[in-house]
Structure 1
Amino acid sequence: MNILAGIIFLFSIVSDQLTKLWAVNQLKDGESIKLIGNFLRFTYAENKGAAFSILQNQLWFFIIATVVMLIILGYMFFMAKNLTPVSRLSISMIAGGAIGNFIDRLRLGHVVDFIDVRFGSFYNFPIFNIADSFVVCGTILMIILILFNKFEKSDING
């Protein structure tokens, strides 16, 4: 299962960086590309903040916070012997997504976002990227595992 976690980790980083490269080359100076009417489109955006564009222009905060979070996730992944295989997958998803956005912040000073979801005129969801998707899905998975007491293996002797 650690092999699958490693594949997920690498896939999240590579797919994120390749899709962002595509977005920069195809969308930066152009218009949005509509995929499903006005519901789903690709629109180039540069995010100098976090989710929902909060904490704009706090580059060093995000660099330090990401390094600290990656150290904690790495410690959990490699040092905790009682994690379930699915817990390791959730950690891999979060870490891979975090590294994808970390690369952008170091290289560009901002994160490239391009996935644009709109719910008619009712709600325009903040533009996001593949890395964000991995972080969110991995976090949701981790929360579910914790809530249902499946994050760690039960100790038979305890």
Structure 2
Amino acid sequence: MQIVGLVIAALIAAADQALKYYIVTNYRLGEVHDVMPGLFSFTYIQNNGAAWNILSGKMWFFYVVSAVAIAVVLYYYFNKNYSHWMFKSGLVLVLGGIIGNLIDRLHLKYVIDMIQLNFVQFNIFNLADAAITVGVILIFSYLLFIERED
């Protein structure tokens, strides 16, 4: 059953890469298109840092952090002591997101971002970032509210 989670992580990374490919082949850098007016737009940017472009240009740092994060996620994913669906789902989402962004960093030396929320002032992000965020929320929710009961 653990193979299913790894396949889902691979599908998340593939979907992230597919959207990035679509953006790169159909948009000019900085170009904006409303997808759902008032809700979100696609805005093609290149980010060579992390959120808010912190640590800009420090690719080796991101390679090391990604490798360590993947190792930690896989350790917990295969650890029999952590079998709750919420924890495992969070790990799968985080893994898929890390891989999606790592592919960009290895191949391009920057990450392609494109999703801009129009109803709030927030950084432009990508599917990998969204997967990581939702995954972390699931992991913390499990650790804060469910693990204590188990």
Please, what TM-score do these two structures have when normalized by structure 1?
0.86
1:21, CA displacement in angstroms? 0.4
Alignment correspondent of 1:145: 142
Equivalents in 1 of 2:86, 2:38: separation in Å? 35
Alignment correspondent of 1:89: 89
Equivalents in 1 of 2:89, 2:31: separation in Å? 36
| Structure 1 residue identity aligned to 2:44 | Y
Equivalents in 1 of 2:146, 2:29: separation in Å? 48
Gaps of at least 5 residues in structure 1 are: none
1:118, CA displacement in angstroms? 2.3
Equivalents in 2 of 1:66, 1:31: separation in Å? 29
Decide whether the 8 Å contact of 1:2 with 1:88 is kept in 2: no
**Could you say what secondary structure the match of 1:93 adopts?**
helix
Query: What is the percent sequence identity of the aligned residues?
Result: 34
Gaps of at least 5 residues in structure 2 are: none
| Bigger-Rg structure (1/2) | 1
Equivalents in 1 of 2:25, 2:65: separation in Å? 29
Decide whether the 8 Å contact of 2:29 with 2:45 is kept in 1: no
Decide whether the 8 Å contact of 2:30 with 2:45 is kept in 1: no
Q: CA RMSD in A?
A: 1.8
Alignment correspondent of 2:42: 42
| Structure 1 residue identity aligned to 2:75 | Y
